[in-house]
Structure 1
Amino acid sequence: MELIHSGKVRDVYSDGDDLILVASDRVSVYDVVLPTPVPDKGKILTQLSLWWFERLADVVPNHVVSATDVPPEWIGRAIRCRRLEMLPVEFIARGYLTGLGLKEYEKHGAVAGVPLPPGLLEGSKLPKPIFTPTTKATEGHDEFMTFDDLVGEIGGATAERLRRVTLEVYERGAALAAERGIIVADTKLEFGRAPEGTLVLADEVLTSDSSRFWLADEWQPGRPQHALDKQVVRDWSSTVTDWDRTPPGPPIPDDVVEATRARYIQLYERITGTTWE
């Protein structure tokens, strides 16, 4: 097999007509991969994605060919998947105001061109979920796109369909998570086009790397929330005063690594109802 791409978290290999997507234990913040891995992270992301792909198959087709027909050294962390022409956009749905969405709202009263009511706070629930796509930057940081920007990039019919699908995936995931005491604040999806033209959900879905998850019984607008994702790494990194947010990143302390791993496992177990082995 040939390594054809190495991303911040995943490596992609070519294997005949298929691709092998391998999730590593790497973790990144500010688009910088940090030198310290989080044990089991790649397996947790992969297994949680597979769980969600199965439950969303009636909403949108996905790229999974097999989770078992992969090299034995990658069992549990790899997926055999279809080759797709990936769209150069990250498709984001937000149900709560946080992260870059909050910063954009504080500047403009809107996110990706979607106006929001005045007076919202960090962690506020939005009147209804909103669609806020961004560019998929190869260098630097992703930038918000308006819906008109998206239409110019991928065409009106495709933009309309993927706005609808992105919001449907978010709403389906948020409803299921809510039954388990979890809030899905936002989520990022990626789509590709199959050779026959079908739009296909790819990469990962509703994981702790692609989404923000909060404990519902601890949710309180106006302050940071208890997050079951890599927010603990983001929070720690903001305290590293001698790092300018460019490579190389600083090593992650052991207690932050263990706290991150514990939150990934806690989310997996709460969402799937199974114990992490």
Structure 2
Amino acid sequence: MTSTTAGGDARLEALRWTHRYSGKVRDLYESSAHPGRLLVIASDRVSAFDHVLAPAIPGKGAMLTQLSLWWFHRLGEPTHLAAAHPSNGEHLPEDIAAKAMIVHELDMFPIECVVRGYLVGSGWAEYRASQSVCGIRLPAGLNEGDKLPEPIFTPAFKASLGEHDENITFERMIELVGASDAQLLREMSLRIFTTASAVAESRGVILADTKFEFGRDPRSGTVVLADEVLTSDSSRYWDASVYAAGGPGRLESFDKQIVRDWLAANWDKTGTPPELPADIVARTADRYRELLERFAAEP
């Protein structure tokens, strides 16, 4: 039987792709036949509260990859993509090609470049405590889910695997990566967020917040957009019509929030998480699929 665990896939090893690393969701491969390139595979695994859960969400990896590719080809920004589609000339098995990207290996910045257009999540919690988010003062009287006067850049330092990322100020970011790169990453993040927000709006979707990752291409020195981009796992999207109507469901997002909510109600965060019920898995897959279909459909 072919291995499809996070530790590697025998079919890829036969094609000279060697497993390098697995995170909670992605698997990374390298090959001596493709120097300077990496094969990034988005698995169907789903995580919450720092645990990988069972079962996986069917089709999730392919949907995340398709959405990333859709955005990469429309943003007009330099990216890490090394091929228009990984199956082109690479002879990858069809099921793997659907959830894979072949990318240039980069010198990655240790920063999650978070942009927030609305006050929600950890930003809302921080605002309630200090009326600021990552050192940025905000107007008084804002409520959860309110649109901010303008998008704000709130970086986070990428923690080691198994640890939480740390929200930091822009001044701390300068200390970590230098003033020039910090300013460039902030500028690129806000520009991409503005572009993506307009695209989302045209499809009846609100982009509430997102995180970008960037790296420097060692061949050219250019800073490029990397990792996944504007997916359900890296972004918070809301249905614009539901948001406008108000009510308790206006902040329901097109992501794994269904999983988080169920787990929070059925697990005390000790020991092994319980297995996800079939209806929770199906509803989560539907939310991922609906968002992809909204963007992939021609306007």
Q: What's the TM-score, normalizing by structure 2?
A: 0.87
Tell me which residue corresponds to 1:185: 208
Tell me which residue corresponds to 2:175: 152
Pairing partner for 2:59 from 30, 40, 45: 40
* SS of alignment partner, residue 229 of structure 2: coil
Counterpart amino acid of residue 142 in structure 2: L
Tell me which residue corresponds to 1:175: 198
Q: CA deviation at 1:223?
A: 4.6
* SS of alignment partner, residue 260 of structure 2: helix
Q: Which moved more, 1:19-28 or 1:133-142?
A: 133-142
Tell me which residue corresponds to 1:3: 19
Q: Considering only aligned residues, what root-mean-square deviation do their CA atoms show, in Å?
A: 1.5
The one of the two structures with greater contact order (alpha-carbon pairs below 8 A, sep at least 6) is 1
Tell me which residue corresponds to 2:10: none
* SS of alignment partner, residue 239 of structure 1: helix
Tell me which residue corresponds to 2:232: 208
Quote the Cα distance in structure 2 between the aligned partners of 1:50 and 1:172.
16
Between structure 1 and structure 2, the one with the greater Rg is: 2
Pairing partner for 1:91 from 108, 113, 117: 113
Tell me which residue corresponds to 2:147: 125
Is 1:243–1:250's contact at 8 Å kept on the other side of the alignment?
A: no
Quote the Cα distance in structure 2 between the aligned partners of 1:172 and 1:259.
29
2:29 matches 1:13: yes
Quote the Cα distance in structure 1 between the aligned partners of 2:279 and 2:141.
36
Q: CA deviation at 1:159?
A: 0.5
Is 1:122–1:222's contact at 8 Å kept on the other side of the alignment?
A: no
Q: Which moved more, 1:68-77 or 1:34-43?
A: 68-77
Is 1:122–1:223's contact at 8 Å kept on the other side of the alignment?
A: no
2:185 matches 1:162: yes
Q: Deviations over 1:17-72 (max 9, x none)?
A: 1100001001111222112200000000000000000011x2x3101112224421
Quote the Cα distance in structure 2 between the aligned partners of 1:104 and 1:28.
24
Quote the Cα distance in structure 2 between the aligned partners of 1:101 and 1:167.
17
Quote the Cα distance in structure 2 between the aligned partners of 1:49 and 1:39.
18
Counterpart amino acid of residue 267 in structure 1: L
2:264 matches 1:238: yes
Is 2:81–2:101's contact at 8 Å kept on the other side of the alignment?
A: yes
Q: Number of residue pairs matched? A: 270
